[in-house]
Structure 1
Amino acid sequence: MSQAQTEFKKVAEANVTLPCYHRLHLLEPTSLDIEWLLKDSEAEPKVVITYAGGNIYNDLIEEQKGRVSFASNFLTGDASLEISLLQPSDAGQYTCKVKNAGQYEWTHITLKVLEKPSKPKCWKEGEMSEGKTIALQCNSVTGTIPIMYTWQRIDEDGKRGSLPPMAHINLSNPAQIFMKNLTWVATGLYQCTASNEAGQETCIVEVTVQYAQNVGIVAGVVCGVMGGLSLVFLAVWLTIKKKEKRKYEEEETPNEIREDAEAPKARLVKPGSSSSGSRSSHSGSSSTRSTANSASRSQQTLSTEATPHITPTQHGPMAMDGREPEPKKVNHANLIKTEATATMVPAQSRAFQTV
């Protein structure tokens, strides 16, 4: 007799009991034979556990040693198989075969061991600047397929919400989303959830969009600082050069007056000038001293002359006989008196004009 095939789905690391009930125990208890077979990807089925001749054999498959056993009293009609700590390798088609006194009963069960996705890895690709395009990736290495991937945004309060308008899911690969023409609105945390029938795992990636205006401000500040430093260095350099030039000029310029410098010319005052009245009170005393000094210098000059001063010969009228008259003798005493008088008169005249 054969029973209909059933299916079990269990999560990895869980325990499962595959049912198998029979009535052959009522016949000859000593001749009862029970056997569980597993047919997986291999062609030939493998014996999982068996009872024969009053003995139980349950270490026939290396991967299942210590994890398989009869769940109940198989001698009373319950030959169910219990598998603990399920592994993906336990999945397959199980057959419970009971034989006694030439009669057979069969039970077929399909076991699916579901493995939840491994903790996914999240990452981002692209330049995180305004106007750029980035991609968010998510992937679980292990897990029973199919694995579903979903993306959500986490706000400041930790609540999950919808994606921003510029985000689009890649239909050919739902684990990837594109965010085009980035703006500051895209800044935040994004959570990827990988899930299947066994469970789910999540990962989080952070997106920080850099503002274009901030980049411009930083560049402007840097340029301003560099320009300011350049001006400071230029001012210091010019000051040093100016001091060096001044020092050089002071060392090279002669301290004594040039010999060929022209003496200042005396300014003559015309008689009757209108400006004499305005300056009379200021220069009265100085004029008197000038007059006295001039007279003194004239007398010293005349007294120190060693030779008499000869005046040019003045020609008078011709004598009647055509001969020139004899030159007159010069009286040196009279000449000295005349020159002294002539020298003092102009000085006194100037003094009177100044007054």
Structure 2
Amino acid sequence: MSAFSILFLASCSVWLGEAQTEFKRVAEENVTLPCHHRLGLLEQGSLDIEWLLHISETVQKAVITYSGGRVYDDLNEEQKGRVSFTSNFLAGDASLQIISLQSSDAGKYICKVKNAGQYEWARITLKVVEKPSKPKCWLEGELLEGKELSLQCRSASGTAPISYRWQRLSEEDERAEQLPPNSRVNISNPGQVLLKNLTQMSTGLYQCVATNEAGQESCVLQVTVQHAQNISMIAGAVCGVLVGLSLLFLVVRLTIRRKEKKRYEEEEAPNEIREDAEAPKAHLVKPSSSSSGSRSSRSGSSSTRSTANSASRSQRTLSTEATPHLTPPQYSQQQLDGKEEPKKADYNHLVKVAVPAVMVPAQSRAFQTV
């Protein structure tokens, strides 16, 4: 190889190194990283092309390579299916194309071309920026006249820095307008706007716009300021409805319980009558004996009947007082179970024993001896 050729290749290498070294693209877009060489004219069978991604000073990953007449584009799992050579890399254009960029694609790329012991390379820095995600808008405070209201806005993701801007929208054509005079923006947190001393003029649509170098997203809030008097009326109406419903429920409950009680009393009345009724008890007739009185009455004459009657009444009185109180016989458990028959009480014997001897008046005896 002549000295002129070597000088030319060296100049090309310098040109590749001094070419545009930084690209900035938005996520989800496509990018082409340039790499041109002239080594394909030497020996095509020994041409090698390699793209590397430097993660750090000591760590790097192979993105795509050409070696031994074959292309290898599945070396990096995160970029598999998204990288390729853009043109005829054998003729001198070994540029790398990456589609559907992701934040993990950002880094320093090196293109190395080798053929017949000669080298060429290119260094390119790729930056991938993400536009803000759709921000979330919310309110903090009371929507009442005279109160304070805070408007909050924040994006969950996106390349920093992200700036926030609140504006009011016209309800007719949604044209951007300035915020009310009583609004204040938080300097330390631009996503927060404080509306002080709310009035009916504060009612309307408010939009938050989140912006960075990759793009912007927005969200909208509806602010409706209410009269304090209207709130009181609504609260009173709600309380009245709740009280009315409670009273109605109580009346229905009492009515149901009254019907249940009445039905229970009607069902229990016949049972109470049957339980309170008692079977008639058998009364024991106490036998009275006054044989001596009767004998004296039969033996006496008609003139002494009154005396005999008096004696008979005295005998009956004494017999009643002397007769013990008769109680029903007591049965043992065996008798109740039917194993032993109860013994009958001899009431006649009790009567005979209980009746004492009756004193017959002397006058009566005198008449008997006659």
TM-score (norm 2): 0.57
1:126 has 2:141 as partner: yes
The amino acid of 1:69's aligned partner reads S
Query: In structure 2, what is the Cα distance between the partners aligned to 1:215 and 1:124?
Result: 19
* 1:204-353 → structure 2 map (5 Å cutoff): 204-215=220-231, 218=233
Query: In structure 2, what is the Cα distance between the partners aligned to 1:9 and 1:220?
Result: 58
| Aligned partner of residue 205 in structure 2, secondary structure | strand
The amino acid of 1:191's aligned partner reads Q
Query: In structure 2, what is the Cα distance between the partners aligned to 1:214 and 1:183?
Result: 14
Residue 256 of structure 1 corresponds to which residue in structure 2? none
- Identity rate, percent: 64
Query: In structure 2, what is the Cα distance between the partners aligned to 1:12 and 1:62?
Result: 18
Residue 58 of structure 1 corresponds to which residue in structure 2? 73
Residue 170 of structure 1 corresponds to which residue in structure 2? 186
Which is higher, the Rg of structure 1 or of structure 2? 1
Query: In structure 2, what is the Cα distance between the partners aligned to 1:181 and 1:94?
Result: 57
Residue 139 of structure 1 corresponds to which residue in structure 2? 154
Query: In structure 1, what is the Cα distance between the partners aligned to 2:218 and 2:229?
Result: 35
Residue 194 of structure 1 corresponds to which residue in structure 2? 210
User: How far is 1:213 from its partner?
Assistant: 4.8
User: How far is 1:12 from its partner?
Assistant: 1.5
Question: Which structure 1 residue ranges, 5 or more long, are not aligned?
Answer: 226-355
Q: Which has the higher helix share?
A: 2
Residue 98 of structure 1 corresponds to which residue in structure 2? 113
Alpha-carbon distance change, 105 to 165 in structure 1, aligned in 2, over 3 angstroms: same
| Aligned partner of residue 76 in structure 1, secondary structure | coil
Alpha-carbon distance change, 55 to 220 in structure 1, aligned in 2, over 3 angstroms: closer
Query: In structure 2, what is the Cα distance between the partners aligned to 1:15 and 1:153?
Result: 36
Alpha-carbon distance change, 32 to 191 in structure 1, aligned in 2, over 3 angstroms: same
Residue 100 of structure 2 corresponds to which residue in structure 1? 85
Q: Contact (CA 8 Å) 1:35, 1:49: kept in 2 or not?
A: yes
| Aligned partner of residue 111 in structure 1, secondary structure | strand
The amino acid of 2:198's aligned partner reads L
Query: In structure 2, what is the Cα distance between the partners aligned to 1:204 and 1:171?
Result: 21
| Aligned partner of residue 90 in structure 2, secondary structure | helix
User: How far is 1:214 from its partner?
Assistant: 3.9
User: How far is 1:221 from its partner?
Assistant: 8.8
Alpha-carbon distance change, 42 to 161 in structure 1, aligned in 2, over 3 angstroms: farther
CA RMSD of aligned residues (A): 2.1
Alpha-carbon distance change, 210 to 43 in structure 1, aligned in 2, over 3 angstroms: farther
| Aligned partner of residue 74 in structure 1, secondary structure | coil
Q: Contact (CA 8 Å) 1:68, 1:82: kept in 2 or not?
A: yes
Q: How many aligned residue pairs are there?
A: 222
The amino acid of 2:29's aligned partner reads A
Residue 108 of structure 1 corresponds to which residue in structure 2? 123
Render the CA deviation track for 1:219-255: whole Å, top value 9, x for unaligned.
Answer: 8997xx9xxxxxxxxxxxxxxxxxxxxxxxxxxxxxx
Query: In structure 1, what is the Cα distance between the partners aligned to 2:171 and 2:133?
Result: 27
The amino acid of 1:199's aligned partner reads G
Query: In structure 2, what is the Cα distance between the partners aligned to 1:88 and 1:14?
Result: 11
Query: In structure 1, what is the Cα distance between the partners aligned to 2:49 and 2:219?
Result: 48
Q: Contact (CA 8 Å) 1:40, 1:91: kept in 2 or not?
A: no
Residue 59 of structure 2 corresponds to which residue in structure 1? 44
Question: Which structure 2 residue ranges, 5 or more long, are not aligned?
Answer: 1-12, 241-370
Query: In structure 2, what is the Cα distance between the partners aligned to 1:47 and 1:26?
Result: 25
Alpha-carbon distance change, 54 to 153 in structure 1, aligned in 2, over 3 angstroms: same
The amino acid of 1:179's aligned partner reads L
User: How far is 1:106 from its partner?
Assistant: 1.6
Residue 183 of structure 1 corresponds to which residue in structure 2? 199
The amino acid of 1:90's aligned partner reads D
Q: Which runs of 4+ in 1 moved over 6 A?
A: 219-222
Residue of structure 2 aligned with 1:25, choices 18, 33, 40: 40
